Amino acid sequence: MSGKIIAGLIIFVALVTFPFIYNVGKANTVPESNLDTPVIKQMAVKQCIEPRQFMRAEHMQLLNNWRDSVVRSGNRIYTASDGKQYSMSLQNTCMNCHSNKKEFCDKCHNYMAVNPYCFDCHLQPKENKS
Amino acid sequence: MLDKALSGSKRYWTWIIILLAVIGLGVINYMRQYQYGLGVTGMGRDISWGVYIAQFTYLVGVAASAVMLIIPKYLHDYKTFGKIVILGEFLAIAAVTMCLLFIFVDLGQPARIMNVILHPTPNSILFWDMIVLNGYLFINLLVGWTTLGADKKGIAPPAWIKPFIYLSIPWAVSIHTVTAFLYAGLPGRHLWLTAIMAPRFLASAFASGPALLILLCLLVRKLSKFDPGKEAIQTLAKIVTYAMIINLFFLGMEFFTAFYSNIPGHMHPLKYLFFGLEGHAKLVPWMWTAVIVGIGSVIVLLFPSLRCNERILGFAAFGIFLATWIDKGVGLVIGGFIPNPFERVTEYSPTATEISITLAIWAIGALVLTVLYKIALAVKEETGEDAAH
Amino acid sequence: MSINRRQFLKIAGISSILGLGSAAATTGLLKGRLEAVQDIPSPEGLTAKRWGMVVDMSKFKTPADYQRVINACHSIHNVPTFDNNKDEVKWIWTDDFEHTFPGHENGFKGEEMNEKKFIVMCNHCAMPACVRVCPTKATFKRKDGIVMMDMHRCIGCRFCMAACPFGARSFNWRDPRPFIKETNPNYPTRTKGVVEKCTFCTERLEKGQLPACAEESAGGLVFGDIGDPNSEARKLIAKHFTIRRKPELGTEPSVYYIIGGGENA
């Protein structure tokens, strides 16, 4: 009987650790955000609507708030923490500067293995349509 | 007690494997549907609900019918039903499971299903349907499992289960009334805009559910050592008889109101279903089959000499099941969309993918039913026929 | 200490529920992180007590009159064009009198009126059945009367389609993108599995523009605040005899039709 248990344990350990074993030796660098777009190049001060660290951590929640604010509450103008005002639009505001979706958005999303469905509806900028 | 479902004869395992095969095929087809969209079905802009919602509507009725065993047994101490109440409750569990699955596969964005809970909307009947269906599933699981467990130990069920058993009575009526409200409150669909939608649903439920239960009892007697008892089956048959008579009477009432008033909006859907409209008549043979088989089965059930013959009873019960299934599962939902709001006729046929997914969910229901019945019958056989309640 | 399996399961179950529940509760409470300043609507946006539309059928004479209006809407909103009726998605289209106004059939109208096409779209009802039945408030009524769609929230149950007495709603039975003739990059598409319909061009209203169909209609579609007695739309309704689609159903449509023909029409 204990032979079955040990065999079962080995199979279990093999299955559970398979993801790690499979990726041994593969390069695993955190992707750099690529800001090389025409609109950003022309900006004197290269700054998003909020500081970089905030955007990195909170852009998902921010976009969720935006979509409710625009669609459900009828508000279009966002006041950033520095007082500047922006039109709340993923497609027309965010992607206006960040028009390189593949190099900017997708790189981190693929690294984190997340698949946001925003772009099922919201059109990607024409330059780098993936 | 689940371990009782893990040991069985060759016939049992063959049946399980067949069910799993049907389910597997359906899962593959559902993945196709998830990938492509609901356009793989026969539904379209005019007929926006089809086979899936129709099955859901029918099965809510079957689930509600457990109450037809609970009321005599627990409110009126009809001991004859004592042995088979568990079969009714387990049938309800299988039926509600199928209902929830049919709703799930019908959604265009199933990943967002939690939105119904995250954004509760009490003015929407679908919100209440979600609550009552899940509640009913929970009640039946709780009551069924607890009473069966007590049965197994040879003792009476714990006292705290009684309130849940009593609760299941109005709850059963509510699941089908709420489901009827999905249809009966829509201003633009004249086939459904009738005060007797919920009464029709309940009458049809109390005919179809016990009819299915009769068939299951006959089957159970053949396949195991458990005998539900001839008297219990006869009482079920009487319930089916009167429920079906009322159901057919209600259908007649719909016809009278529509055709005596001569209001086009009222007449057109019934015309389409039973006589054809503007040359479209796909469902006409279905509906007349349902009526003829339904009336025929009721006549058989009315004569005691025929009803007492369990072989003939089996055919009649199947007839009732078929007639009510066509009436609700084919005619009602699809008929409600014809003619469309522009008074035009678009017809509907399910596609092969749609049928495969539908059969798979029926197979899942059959699987749940098989497993639960296997457990219940094993317990009954163990403890002998003198169950403590 | 020895416990049996049942006790262990009970303890494990209750601890998990407590742990997960308190985690959910605390994150839920923290979620209400307010922005320092509230979002505001665009200052140039148009507002109204109740947006409505008067359809002046006398201004629709040639097929081009209709096509202009339909194309205006469908092109800027990335509405797909399918080759079959089943998958059809449409926000604004035409139909004849008998089918647009089924209860008003009078049998002796004459050939011209029999064949005349009427512009139909969502009626943005004041008491909309679709909003009543939506289980997630994905379709909802705005304060200005517009019945709006939140595509992010729609679960695709199609209850609204069953409820709408006017057949105004379309569902995306498949991915619409391959079927969009020419994409407007400034407006999103939809994805499979959600319902869509006319929204009285909320994205244009907030920029101070009239709906696209109204702008292209050369006076055929008069969009205005029917909650304001002084608006052009209200004045037209007071002056002419108008009908609405299926008013007996109590949904209170906001689209009024000047049918045409005769002096007071």
Q: Does B45 touch chain C (CB under 8 A)?
A: yes
Nearest Cα to Cα of residue C216 among C44, C76, C51, C52: C76
Helices B51-64 and B161-184: crossing angle, nearest 10°? 150
* Partner residue facing B187 (CB), from C129, C137, C155: C129
* Size of the A and C interface in Cβ pairs below 8 Å: 65
State the number of CA atoms in the 13 A half-sphere of C159 facing the CB: 31
In whole angstroms, how far apart are CA B224 and each of B12, B217, B219, B360? 11, 10, 9, 26
pLDDT at C103: 85
Would you call C39 and A73 a contact, using CB atoms and an 8 Å cutoff?
yes
Q: Which residues of A, range 12-41, sit inside 8 Å of C by Cβ?
A: none
Mean pLDDT of B316-328: 96
Q: Quick one: closest CA in B to C133, which residue?
A: B124
| Chain C interface disruption, residue of B30, B32, B36, B45, most C CBs within 10 A | B45
Burial of C3 (0-12, 13-18, 19+ CB in 10 A): exposed
Would you call A91 and C188 a contact, using CB atoms and an 8 Å cutoff?
yes
Within 8 A of A94 by CB-CB distance, chain C residues are none
Q: d(Cα A48, Cα A56) in Å, to the nearest integer? A: 11
Could you give the ipTM of this predicted complex? 0.92
| Chain C interface disruption, residue of A121, A126, A129, most C CBs within 10 A | A121
Nearest Cα to Cα of residue B145 among B95, B171, B153, B131: B153
**Mean pLDDT lowest among A24-28, B74-78, B106-110, B347-351:** A24-28
Torsion of CA B186, B190, B191, B197, to 10 degrees: 50
The domain spans of chain C are 51-258
Q: Does B115 touch chain C (CB under 8 A)?
A: yes
| % of chain B at pLDDT higher than 70 | 99
Residue owning tokens 């039946």: B140
Burial of B68 (0-12, 13-18, 19+ CB in 10 A): buried
Q: d(Cα B195, Cα C56) in Å, to the nearest integer? A: 38
Tens of each residue's pLDDT in chain C, 265 residues: 678 998 999 999 999 999 988 887 776 655 555 555 789 999 999 999 999 999 999 999 999 999 999 999 999 999 999 989 899 999 999 999 999 999 888 888 888 888 899 999 999 999 999 999 999 999 999 999 999 999 999 999 999 999 999 999 999 999 999 999 999 999 999 999 999 999 999 999 999 999 999 999 999 999 999 999 999 999 999 999 999 999 999 999 999 999 876 554 4
Within 8 A of C152 by CB-CB distance, chain A residues are 67, 71
Within 8 A of C154 by CB-CB distance, chain A residues are none
**Would you give the distance in Å from CA B341 to the centre of its chain?**
29
Question: Interface partners of A (3+ CB pairs, < 8 Å)?
Answer: C
Within 8 A of A82 by CB-CB distance, chain C residues are none
Q: Does C85 touch chain A (CB under 8 A)?
A: no
CB neighbours (10 Å) of residue A38?
A: 10
Q: d(Cα C234, Cα C238) in Å, to the nearest integer? A: 6
pLDDT at C31: 55
Q: d(Cα B284, Cα B345) in Å, to the nearest integer? A: 14
pLDDT at C35: 52
- Please report the DSSP string for B129-198 in residue order: HHHHHHHHHHHHHHHHHHHHHHHHHTSPPPTTHHHHHHHHHHHHHHHHHHHHHHHHT-TT-TTT--TTHH
* Partner residue facing C189 (CB), from A69, A76, A121: A121
Within 8 A of A93 by CB-CB distance, chain C residues are none
Q: Degrees (nearest 5) of the Cα angle B33, B35, B38?
A: 40
Q: Quick one: closest CA in A to C41, which residue?
A: A75
Residue B131 confidence class, pLDDT cut points 50, 70, 90: very high
Q: Does A91 touch chain C (CB under 8 A)?
A: yes
pLDDT at C115: 87
Question: Which residues lie across from C140 on neighbouring strands?
Answer: C148
In whole angstroms, how far apart are CA C208 and each of A74, C2, C41, C212? 14, 74, 12, 12
The answer to whether the beta carbons of residues B360 and B293 sit under 8 Å apart is no
- Residue spans of beta strands (DSSP E) within chain B: none
Fold topology of B2-383: Formate dehydrogenase/DMSO reductase fold (1.20.1630)
Would you call B49 and C158 a contact, using CB atoms and an 8 Å cutoff?
yes
Would you call C193 and B125 a contact, using CB atoms and an 8 Å cutoff?
no
Secondary structure (3-state) at A78: strand
Q: Does A130 touch chain C (CB under 8 A)?
A: no
Q: Does C133 touch chain B (CB under 8 A)?
A: yes
The answer to whether the beta carbons of residues B336 and B192 sit under 8 Å apart is yes
CB neighbours (10 Å) of residue B82?
A: 20
Q: d(Cα B203, Cα B182) in Å, to the nearest integer? A: 17
Q: Does C118 touch chain B (CB under 8 A)?
A: no
The answer to whether the beta carbons of residues B148 and B389 sit under 8 Å apart is no
Q: Does C173 touch chain B (CB under 8 A)?
A: yes
| pTM to 2 decimal places | 0.92
* Partner residue facing B48 (CB), from C134, C162, C175: C162
Q: What are phi and psi of C60, to 5 degrees?
A: -105, 105
Q: Does A94 touch chain C (CB under 8 A)?
A: no
Q: Which residues of C, range 70-109, sit inside 8 Å of B by Cβ?
A: 85-89, 95, 98-100, 102-103
Tokens of C120: 């139909």
- Residue spans of beta strands (DSSP E) within chain C: 51-56, 92-96, 117-121, 139-141, 147-149, 170-171, 195-196, 221-225, 255-258
Q: d(Cα A107, Cα A113) in Å, to the nearest integer? A: 10
Would you call C41 and A76 a contact, using CB atoms and an 8 Å cutoff?
yes
The answer to whether the beta carbons of residues B110 and B95 sit under 8 Å apart is no
Question: Which residues lie across from C256 on neighbouring strands?
Answer: C54
Q: Does B44 touch chain C (CB under 8 A)?
A: yes
| pLDDT > 70? residue B259 | yes
Task: Provide the shortest C-alpha distance from residue C170 to chain B (in Å).
Answer: 6
Q: d(Cα B372, Cα A118) in Å, to the nearest integer? A: 43
Q: Which residues of C, range 140-199, sit inside 8 Å of A by Cβ?
A: 140, 142-144, 148, 150-152, 183, 185-191
Q: Does A11 touch chain C (CB under 8 A)?
A: no
CATH number for the region C51-258 comes to 3.30.70.20
User: How many helices (H) does chain A have, and how many strands (E)?
Assistant: 6, 2
Within 8 A of B113 by CB-CB distance, chain C residues are 155
Torsion of CA B212, B218, B223, B224, to 10 degrees: 110
Within 8 A of C156 by CB-CB distance, chain B residues are 38, 107-110, 112
The answer to whether the beta carbons of residues B42 and B50 sit under 8 Å apart is yes
Query: What is the H or E stretch that residue B98 is in?
Result: helix B85-106
Task: Provide the shortest C-alpha distance from residue C193 to chain A (in Å).
Answer: 11
Would you call C88 and B116 a contact, using CB atoms and an 8 Å cutoff?
no
| pLDDT > 80? residue B235 | yes
Task: Provide the shortest C-alpha distance from residue B49 to chain C (in Å).
Answer: 8
State the number of CA atoms in the 13 A half-sphere of B64 facing the CB: 29
Q: Quick one: closest CA in C to B344, which residue?
A: C99
Q: Does B9 touch chain C (CB under 8 A)?
A: no
The per-residue b/e assignment along B268-287, b for 16 or more CB within 10 angstroms, e otherwise, is: bbbbbbbeebeeebebbebb
Question: Interface partners of C (3+ CB pairs, < 8 Å)?
Answer: A, B
The answer to whether the beta carbons of residues B42 and B349 sit under 8 Å apart is yes
- Please report the DSSP string for B211-240 in residue order: HHHHHHHHHHHHHSS----HHHHHHHHHHH
Running DSSP on this structure, what letter comes out for residue A77? Answer: E
Tokens of C79: 């509405």
Tokens of B196: 């007797």
What is chain A's percent helix, strand, coil content, to nearest 5?
55, 5, 40
Nearest Cα to Cα of residue A47 among A104, A109, A98: A98
The answer to whether the beta carbons of residues B187 and C129 sit under 8 Å apart is yes
Would you call B112 and C154 a contact, using CB atoms and an 8 Å cutoff?
yes
The answer to whether the beta carbons of residues B217 and B233 sit under 8 Å apart is yes
Would you call C185 and A65 a contact, using CB atoms and an 8 Å cutoff?
no
Mean pLDDT of B356-384: 94
Amino acid at A24: V
Q: Does C157 touch chain B (CB under 8 A)?
A: yes
Q: Does B278 touch chain C (CB under 8 A)?
A: no
The 3-class SS string of C160-223 reads HHHHCCCCCCEECCCCCHHHCCCCCCCCCCCCCCCEECCCCCHHHHCCCCCCHHHHHCCCCEEE
- Residue spans of beta strands (DSSP E) within C5-79: 51-56
Task: Provide the shortest C-alpha distance from residue C244 to chain A (in Å).
Answer: 28
Within 8 A of C93 by CB-CB distance, chain B residues are none
Would you call A72 and C150 a contact, using CB atoms and an 8 Å cutoff?
yes
pLDDT at C2: 78
- Residue spans of beta strands (DSSP E) within C70-169: 92-96, 117-121, 139-141, 147-149
Would you call A121 and C140 a contact, using CB atoms and an 8 Å cutoff?
no
